[in-house]
Chains A and B, each alone.
Chain A
Amino acid sequence: MRVAVIGAGVIGLSTAQSIYEHYHSIVSPLTIEVYADKFTPLTTSDGAAGFWQPYLYDKGNVQETKWNKETFDYLLSFLKSPESIKMGIFLESGYNLCSEPAPDPSFKDSVLGFRQLTDRELQIFPGYKFGWFNTALMIEGKTYLPWLMECGMWSGQLQPDPDLKPGRGQILKVDAPWLKHWIITHDFTKGTYNSPYIIPGYRLVTLGGVFQMGNWSEQNSSVDHKEIWEKACQLEPSLKHARIVDDWSGLRPVRSKVRLEREAIWSGETPIEVIHNYGHGGFGLTIHRGCAEEAARLFGQIVEQKGKGPKARL
């Protein structure tokens, strides 16, 4: 069988990996080719802070919560091994801050040591009255993507999907190695990621948050830069002396919910089987493994239909 995976961000590469892992010994030969116009380190996944955390609430998309947890557990299982460094994954704890009490987030049972913030902790963050502390995972795209499989180059037309819109983000990268905790603030009036966040990474700290729906510009905006920097310094005064190293903008592939399903596209007399796996917004790294495994499961259905695999169920 020949499989073409379109897209070489975290979703494309991990989907290719899951299909390979489950089927390379069952379907022979199995050729998987990844096509994209951008590969690491130029994809959206590469620019992301690389922090595992879903949006606070899944709005009834319980399937997404399940995939997020599956991804977390999968990554966590690698931590015992030195392989984890090659993958770019490590544990990091931190603070989710709100200006008013809010219901527990969807991920409270996925992360480690989830608890509410104590009064003492809230004193550290004036202006915030409520929040949570937990230990989560970092997953740096620039390291993780090379670790996943990689392949050839081809660029082509993809189908338009009116539900898919860009959610423009801009971030600063600064040198502030004394920061060891992520700090994410939430403003329910402004919406997800339109509120400051500070995410220390492997070598640099990512400052954000901007989430501009419908903005296709991948240029850095000096207005956004100023806003991000000032808000971050307010949240974490020690940043005043941090050296700004880089600016980056990316377009989150936003959709009302993830499109993960099969579609048969007719080209002449034989249909091309397509598995869609896109629309992960700002939580691609967070959800990638769960979705990749589901895509592999759909692939299994195709394998059975085409009579290419053993009768045994996977």
Chain B
Amino acid sequence: MMKSVRVVVVGAGVIGFSTAVCIVEALPFCSVTLMADKFSPDTTSDGAAGILFAAQFPDIPLQRQKHWFKDSFDHLLAIAQSQCAPEAGVMLSSGWQIFKEVPAVKKPFWSEFVIGFRLMTDVERKRFPDHKFGQAFTTLKCECSTYLPWLEKRFRKAGGQVEQRKVNNLQELSNNFDIIVNCSGLGSKVLVGDTQVYPVRGQVLKVEAPWVQHFIRDGDGTTYIYPGIRSVTIGGTRQEGDWRLQVDDRDTKGILERCSRLEPSLNKAKILNEWVGLRPSRKNPRVEREVVELQGRPVPVVHNYGHGGWGVTLAWGTALDTLGLVKQSLHEMAPQPKL
């Protein structure tokens, strides 16, 4: 009787669930379990506004980064155009990214993958007197507090198992699983001892301002207004190495000031709630595989973590990449009856 390959995905944020869905849907002969300590609505992904933008990482080949972005964008665009859109929490969003000084790169690498990318006209820029340059385009917003439950449904439907459990080390898993997929975000610092992982603290407010239909983002990445399905997320902060999860009133004040300068009508918006998340940051995301000796056995471990503030943006693309690495690991394992 054929024994199916047992895969465990650690982490239930957008990276964990995207990766788990990719694997379970592509590899029906694998039994896939997703294991995590925290689930939606308590993950880092849940508070993220989920607007698709990318940054450029220094050490990953540009072609690969382009794939990551394009695959994620196309995947979510297909959902946005379908009947599933509201259930999945995905929507199209148009708006402007503005810069106080003209940036070195006027057309970033991802400009070809978003929709209708162009530079702002003079009349459009007049609305932002402190800013000299801007880009206009249409992108996507993916709200994880809705998207993660939707992905979980999809995961279970394809036969995936979900287990709530805090994983303290990889040894614990090697008894019951043949391949470990690590999507533990900031948790990788402890789980796999990666000292390069660090938090970048972000605080946001969710306000009621249904008249705001466009995103506005300052190119420095610290001030942004992202209209969502039922509220508008305004932010933010970028505090490197800061582990505090409590709301900081000084940050609240700063966010309201900066965002109201860009969009004065926000002065009248009712604040619905505040949230803090720790972006699981790293110089470059770690999407690679290795073989680790666990309890006397060589166990393939595929990593997919360290996406910083670009988790939602890169989730599907890196999940597909990770699936490829899982497939490679399968080929190298002891021969199974059928692959």
Q: Which residues of A contact B (CB under 8 A)?
A: 79-82, 84-85, 90-93, 112-113, 115, 117-118, 120-121, 124, 133, 135, 138, 176-181, 200, 202-203, 237-238, 240-242
Task: Write 11 A-B pairs (CB below 8 A) sorted by A numbering.
Answer: A79-B127, A80-B127, A81-B264, A85-B211, A113-B118, A113-B136, A135-B124, A179-B91, A181-B92, A238-B80, A238-B84
- B interface SS class: mixed
Give Cα A129–Cα B77 distance, bound, in whole angstroms: 19
Query: Which residues of A lie under 8 Å from residue B81 when comparing CB positions?
Result: 124, 237-238
Q: Which of B72-98 contact A (CB under 8 A)?
A: 77, 80-87, 89-94
Give Cα A178–Cα B94 distance, bound, in whole angstroms: 12
Give Cα A210–Cα B282 distance, bound, in whole angstroms: 55
With A80-B127, A82-B264, A82-B268 given, name 20 new contacts (CB 8 A). A84-B211, A90-B211, A90-B265, A91-B213, A93-B94, A93-B214, A135-B94, A138-B211, A178-B91, A178-B229, A180-B91, A180-B92, A180-B227, A181-B94, A200-B213, A203-B210, A238-B81, A238-B85, A238-B86, A241-B83
Residue in A82, A90, A203, A238 with the greatest tally of chain B CB atoms within 10 Å:
A238
Q: Which of B247-279 contact A (CB under 8 A)?
A: 264-265, 267-268
CB-based contact B86/A90 at 8 Å? no
Q: Which of B107-154 contact A (CB under 8 A)?
A: 115-116, 118, 120-121, 123-124, 127, 136, 138
Tell me the minimal C-beta distance from B271 to chain A in angstroms: 15
A-B interface, 9 closest residue pairs, ranked by CB to CB distance from nearest: A238-B85, A90-B211, A178-B91, A93-B94, A240-B83, A92-B213, A178-B229, A180-B213, A237-B83
Give Cα A112–Cα B128 distance, bound, in whole angstroms: 14
CB-based contact B210/A202 at 8 Å? yes
CB-based contact A177/B123 at 8 Å? no
CB-based contact B83/A118 at 8 Å? no
Taking A82-B268, A113-B136 as contacts, is the C-beta distance between A93 and B229 under 8 angstroms? no
Q: How large is the interface on B (under 10, 10 to 19, 20 to 34, 35 or more residues)?
A: 35 or more
The yes or no answer to B212 lying at the interface (CB within 8 A) is: yes
- Interface contact tally, CB-CB below 8 A: 95
Give Cα A117–Cα B118 distance, bound, in whole angstroms: 12
The yes or no answer to B230 lying at the interface (CB within 8 A) is: yes
Query: Which residues of B lie under 8 Å from residue A91 when comparing CB positions?
Result: 213-214
CB-based contact B127/A90 at 8 Å? no
Tell me the minimal C-beta distance from B300 to chain A in angstroms: 38
Give Cα A241–Cα B229 distance, bound, in whole angstroms: 14
Query: Which residues of A lie under 8 Å from residue B136 when comparing CB positions?
Result: 113
Tell me the minimal C-beta distance from A93 to chain B in angstroms: 5
Tell me the minimal C-beta distance from B53 to chain A in angstroms: 17
Query: Which residues of B lie under 8 Å from residue A80 when comparing CB positions?
Result: 127, 264
Tell me the minimal C-beta distance from B77 to chain A in angstroms: 8
Tell me the minimal C-beta distance from B63 to chain A in angstroms: 20
Give Cα A180–Cα B80 distance, bound, in whole angstroms: 12
Give Cα A121–Cα B116 distance, bound, in whole angstroms: 8
Query: Which residues of A lie under 8 Å from residue B82 when comparing CB positions?
Result: 237-238
CB-based contact A90/B87 at 8 Å? no
Query: Which residues of B lie under 8 Å from residue A180 when comparing CB positions?
Result: 91-94, 213-214, 227
Query: Which residues of A lie under 8 Å from residue B210 when comparing CB positions?
Result: 177, 202-203
Query: Which residues of B lie under 8 Å from residue A92 when comparing CB positions?
Result: 213-214
Residue from A79, A112, A177 within 8 A of B121 (CB atoms)? A112
Tell me the minimal C-beta distance from A277 to chain B in angstroms: 29
